A and B are shown apart, each in its own frame.
Chain A
Amino acid sequence: MMPALKVRNPERKNVEESHMDEIETRPWSDLPQDLIVSIMERLYVADRVRLRAVCKGWHLQPNRGIKAIDKLPWTMEYKWRNPKSMSFWSVCKLYEPLHHNRRLSYMVEKDRIRGRKNFANAEVRASRYSWVLFYKDDCWEGKFFFFNPFTKEVIFLPILESPVSEFATFSLAPTSPDCFVFVPYLRNCNKISINIYSHADKTWKTHDLVANDHPLGTLKAVGYMEGTFYCHFCSFQLAAFNIADQEVSLVMTTCPALDHLDDSLFYYLSRSYLLECDGDLLLVYLLESFLCWHQLYVLKLDWSRNEWVRVSRLGGRAMFLGETSFCVSAGGETEIIANRIYYHHDGVPEFQTLDLCSFDEYDSQGHDYLTWEKEKKGEAGNAKIYGCCRKSLKTIWIQPP
């Protein structure tokens, strides 16, 4: 290949030559928005926040649809000061997962004097899009509020006159008028009341559902997927509330994979999580046993047969379970933690890692369940992207903005 031939234009002015010696400045603040977006897409949340504070030209609206680089959830540690207790401070801290050997923590607030009195004793119900839905039972009045630790915004919802709501979730960020909050309450073994809060109307509405054929059993988990809220009962009935139709429906599902288990396990010893991932509705059962190991079932709903089928592989996805739960789709950053389940719950102050890759191994030995153990220290170091948390504080998973 021939090198390019450069032809100097004889008319070129000398003024431009002399210009080169000066300190050159460029109008960086006027950089086209699509270029700023491409740059931001390469940065983590904290860097993005700082970049937006450089100049007005770079102060893009957060909802401009900049793709998130942080696919993995962060963790949030918090404790709100209870005015009656002896602890003198409120604290809220965010932790990034480990990126290239750097795991940063950010103090959102630490207040020794005032604290957040109105947050005291609030319990986490759900988290999506960097917002956390809290519930507080105040003198028989249910108070729900949203808190966003990344922006410190707080949104209180009108009081819901209903008994204690153990389960609740929501559809979209509460800054969106299309946000709905879903609070089911089991009245008796045959009747459930579904409380729906519409952020546009600023009101609660209640829809009742009666199960005529079979008792519903305990409410085990709630979830949201593509415009519909779901409630899973231990009878394996699935109640669905479609936002567009504003209608409740009930379907009986089956789960042959769990048929062999003792019913009491479901009542007393299991936790379950309803999650959405890549268009699949997933149900995870974690059975705690008195032995030193636990049993874990990851089930996927086969909509054509209303049957929960066991998933043997996460297909590169990663799961985060706890008071708030997420499933992260495969690819990119998630590779280092692919096929693992991170588990965190009250009283279990460590993140535990499950590796579904070994499923086939167990299966070939004739086991029809997956056993797991806490990952050994030092082993699989690349999966240790979340550190331990402090026992004195609550820890939840949270999606960065």
Chain B
Amino acid sequence: MAFTKKVTLKSSDGELFIIDRAVALQSRTIQYVLEDTNPVDAIIPVPAVDARTLSKVLEYCKKHLIDLNTDFEDYSKWDKDFVDAEVWMLYDLIMAADYLHIPPLIDLICDKIASMFKGQTPDKIREIFNIDNDFSKEEEEDFKKKSGWAFK
């Protein structure tokens, strides 16, 4: 074959991942790199993603490549377990999926994060996601005054 079937990715912390080309092609970012340069046996750096996150992202890409024929139910259960992760991991994953441009993974994590927001108060959301409240007392009162219906 003219193309090499393996691709090597290098994470931000220098770890190397040798994966099937088809797996890597699920990332549009990598797809563009491969189309542009077609690096034979070259290492593609992924400077925005660390090894821990990259291995998890690749796990997703592999699963979704292999299991194209599995029925929907199997698939959704695997996805559900995949995003059943700590919130910091969800952050790393969504940022990686965004950088690598893997739309189905972005959708999956957005679904997960949205489900965590449902029915929660701003205080509870700040607690779960460890976010500082940077609104002033006046601004907070203004929300309650204007859209108090949503906070009760």
Q: Which residues of A contact B (CB under 8 A)?
A: 1-9, 11-13, 16, 20, 24-26, 28-29, 31-32, 35, 38-40, 42-43, 45-47, 49-56, 59, 94, 106-108, 149-153
Contacts and interface: CB of A to CB of B under 8 A. Distances in A.
B119 A47 contact: yes
A4 B111 contact: no
A38 B110 contact: yes
Nearest to A48: B150
Contacts, number: 134
Contacts of A26: 87-88, 91-92, 130
Contact-size category for B: 35 or more
Given A4-B19, A54-B122, A152-B145, A16 B150 contact: no
B23 interface: yes
Nearest to B130: A25
Interface in B78-131: 86-88, 91-92, 94, 98, 106-107, 110-111, 113-114, 117-122, 125-126, 129-131
A399 to B, nearest CB: 16
Contact of B18 (A4, A107, A150): A4
Interface stretch (B8-16, B25-33, B34-42, B69-77): B8-16
A175 to B, nearest CB: 13
Given A20-B52, A106-B152, A152-B147, 6 more contacts: A12-B51, A42-B110, A51-B125, A53-B122, A53-B140, A55-B134
A42 B111 contact: yes
Contact of B121 (A9, A13, A50, A108): A50
B91 A28 contact: yes
Nearest to B135: A56
B149 A107 contact: yes
Interface of B: 13-20, 23, 50-52, 55, 58, 62, 65-66, 86-88, 91-92, 94, 98, 106-107, 110-111, 113-114, 117-122, 125-126, 129-135, 140, 143, 145-152
Given A7-B18, A35-B110, A150 B13 contact: no
B142 to A, nearest CB: 10
Given A28-B130, A46-B150, A12 B13 contact: yes
A35 B98 contact: yes
B133 to A, nearest CB: 7
Contacts of B120: 47, 50
Contacts of B117: 39, 43, 47, 50-51
A313 B143 CA distance: 43
19 contacts: A1-B20, A4-B17, A6-B18, A24-B86, A25-B88, A26-B87, A28-B87, A28-B131, A35-B110, A38-B107, A38-B110, A39-B117, A43-B117, A49-B143, A49-B150, A50-B151, A52-B143, A55-B134, A107-B149
B14 A53 contact: no
A205 B145 CA distance: 35
